[in-house]
Amino acid sequence: MVGFANSKINIGLQIVGRRSDGYHLINTVMYPLKELADVVEIVPSNFTDIVMTGLELDVDRKNNLVFKAYELLARDFGLQPLMFYLHKNIPHGAGLGGGSSDAATVLKLVNNLFSLGLSDSQLEGYARRLGADCAFFIKNQSAYATNIGEQLSEISLDLSRYNIVVVKPNFEISTKQAYSMVEPQKPQVDLRQAVSLPLEQWRDVIFNDFEKFLFKKYPQLQQVKRQLYAMGAVYASLSGSGSAVYGIFEKKIDLTQLDYPFVWQKFK
C-alpha cells in the first residue's frame, strides 16, 4: 500500500507565549503543498524495518517518525510487523513538515491496511502524540493552528492559481534550536483575517516571527527572501522555523537563477 506524504508551508507564524513546560505558543496558517511529497509504502513482513531512498535523512532509522507512528498503533491493536519503504523528496530541517507528514501518512495507511476503522479525529489524536504539526496532515487542508501548533481550525485559502517556489540553502535548522532564540510577542494582526486580504497586501501585514531572530544568525535566509522578491514574488517568507524560504508567484520562474542545493517549483 502506497501513500504520498506531502509538505506544507506556514503563512505567517506568531510566537505569542510560552507554557510552563517550555513549549512555545503560536498562531500560524498552514497550507499543504501536495505536489512536493515523500513516498511511503508499507508491506506486510516477518519483521519491522525501513528502507530509505532519495534525499539523505540524518536520523537514526529507529527514531524515524515512521516507526514511531506504526508503534503507536501496533501497541494498541496488536498489529503484525511491516516493512516500510520511504523515498524522501522533502528536505529535512526545512520547516516543510516532511517528517510529520510521513508519520501522519503511516497512521492513515496502517488504519486502512488493517481496517482499524479509526476516524480522522482519532487519527489526529495519535498524530498529536508524535509532533506538534503531525495532526495537520491527517485532513491535509488549509488550517489555522494555535497552542503549540496542534489545535486546528479550518480556514478558507486556495493558492492553486499561483506558482510556488521553495528554496533551501545548504544547512538545516532544528526546531529546538530555532525556538531557543526567540522571544514571544503580542501579535499585531489576526492571521485569519490577514490571509483573506488580497495576496498583494500580505507582504505588509503577514510575518513569520522566526525571521527576526534567524535572519541575524543566518543572513543567507534573508538573501534568499530578497532574491525571490527581486524575481517577482508577490509574497515570500520563511516556512516554519526554516531553513526553507518560499515565494508565491503569478508566473513560472526560471529556476537557474537560484543557485542553492534544493530548489523546487509548483506551477499551474
Cα 199 to Cα 231: distance, rounded to the nearest angstrom: 16
Beta strand pairing status for 2-18 and 49-54? unpaired
Cα 268 to Cα 266: distance, rounded to the nearest angstrom: 7
End-to-end alpha carbon distance in the chain: 29
Classify 232 in phi/psi space as left (phi over 0), alpha (psi -120 to 50) or beta.
Answer: left
155-185 burial code (b ≥16 CB/10 A, e <16): bebebeebbbbbbbbeebbebeebbeebeee
212 is catalytic: no
Amino acid at 100: S
62 is catalytic: no
Q: Is residue 145 within a helix (H) or strand (E), and if so which, with residue range? A: strand 143-146
Cα 266 to Cα 46: distance, rounded to the nearest angstrom: 39
38, 102, 133, 209: the active-site residue: 133
Cis peptide before 7 (omega within 30 of 0): no
8, 88, 225, 266: the active-site residue: 8
Give yes or no for a contact between 241 and 175, defined as CB atoms under 8 angstroms apart: yes
What is the edge-to-edge ordering of all strands in the sheet holding 163-168? Answer: 235-238, 245-249, 163-168, 262-266
Give yes or no for a contact between 193 and 201, defined as CB atoms under 8 angstroms apart: no
Q: Which residues are catalytic?
A: 8, 133
